[in-house]
Amino acid sequence: MEISGKKAIVVGGASGFGRATAELLAKRGASVAILDRPQSNGKEVASEIGGTFHEVDVTDFDGTEEVLARAVDELGGLHVIVTTAGGGIGERTIKKDGPHSLESFRQSIDLNLVGTFNISRLAAFHMSKQEPVDDEAEERGVIINTASIAAFEGQIGQVAYTASKAGIAGMCLTMARDLGSLGIRVLAIAPSLFATGLTQGIPDEFAAALTKDAAFPKRLGKPEEYAKLVAAIVDNPMLNGQCLRLDAGQRFAPK
C-alpha cells in the first residue's frame, strides 16, 4: 500500500516509537491523527506534522471507541493504524511478602493486551466499511501493533509484561486470518531495547551494558528505526500475520 494520500492513526503518537512513526508517515504524504494521553505532547506533535490530536486513555475502552470513531471521521477514512501505547511493571511471581498482585497483573493485561485488541477490532471495523485502495490488490488497511522481545524471552520480574506482549504477538496470525477476506493485514513489531522512555538519555556505558548481547549493532535502537519498519510493512502487501523482531540479534538474558 502506498503511504502517500492514505489516512493513518498512531496511538501513543506523542513520543517515542509513536512520534517517530507519525512524523515519517506524514513526511511520506499520509494524513495523520495522533491519539495519546491528555498530559502528553500530542497537540504540539500533531501541529508540527500538520495532523490532528485526540486525547485518549486506552484503558477506558468505551471512551477509546468514541475517540477512534471521531478521529476516523475527521480523517475521512482509515488505512493504517499503529498502536504503541503501553507500559510495564517489575514484579516476580512470588515476592518476599507473598504472590504477585493479581490487580497489577490485570492492569498490565488491560493496558497492553486488551487495550491493543480493543483498538485493533475497532480499527478493523472502520477499515472494513471502506472501498479497497485499488481494484487489483483489494487492500483496505494495515493494523500494526507493538509487542516486545520480552514476549519470547521475558526477564525475571516481567511475567505480567511478558504475558501481555506475548498475547499481542500471538494474535497476529489469527486476526490476519479473520480479516484476510476483507483485505486487512495485521502485524506486530517486537522491539528490543530502544532509546525511548526510561532508556532515553541514559549514559553510554549503561546503554552498552544493556545491549552487550546484541549481535550488531551493539547499541540502543532509535525510534526512527521502528518507524522505518512500519513504513516497510505498509508498503509490502506480502507482510502479514506475524510478529517481526526488531532487535539487532539480541536475546534477553534472565536478568
In a domain, 70, yes or no: yes
For 201, the grid coordinates are 538519555
Asked whether residue 240 is domain-assigned, the answer is: yes
255 lies in some domain = no
Domain count, the chain: 1
- CATH code (residue 233): 3.40.50.720
Q: Mind telling me the catalytic residues?
A: 161
pLDDT band at 84 (very low <50, low <70, confident <90, very high): very high
Residue 217 is assigned to a structural domain of this protein: yes
Instruction: Examine residue 66 and state whether it is found in any structural domain, yes or no.
Output: yes
Q: Is residue 2 part of a domain?
A: no
Comparing C-alpha atoms, which of 145, 140, 139, 142 is closest to residue 170? 145
Check whether 108 has a pLDDT greater than 90: yes
Is the model's pLDDT at 112 over the cut of 90? yes
CA dihedral 169, 180, 143, 133 (to 10 degrees): 160
Instruction: State residue 83's pLDDT score.
Output: 98
The fraction of the chain above a pLDDT of 90, given in percent, is 93
Q: What is the pLDDT of residue 202?
A: 76
- pLDDT tens by residue, 9-29: 999 999 999 999 999 999 999
Domain enclosing residue 38, as ranges: 7-246
User: Does residue 59 lie in a domain region?
Assistant: yes
The answer to whether residue 254 sits within a structural domain is no
Residues 171-187: pLDDT tens digits?
Answer: 999 999 999 999 999 99
User: Does the structure show a pLDDT above 80 at 158?
Assistant: yes
3-state secondary structure at position 144: strand
- Please say if the pLDDT value at position 205 is more than 90: no
Confirm if 167 and 114 have CB atoms less than 8 A apart: no
Distance CA 216, CA 252 (A): 14
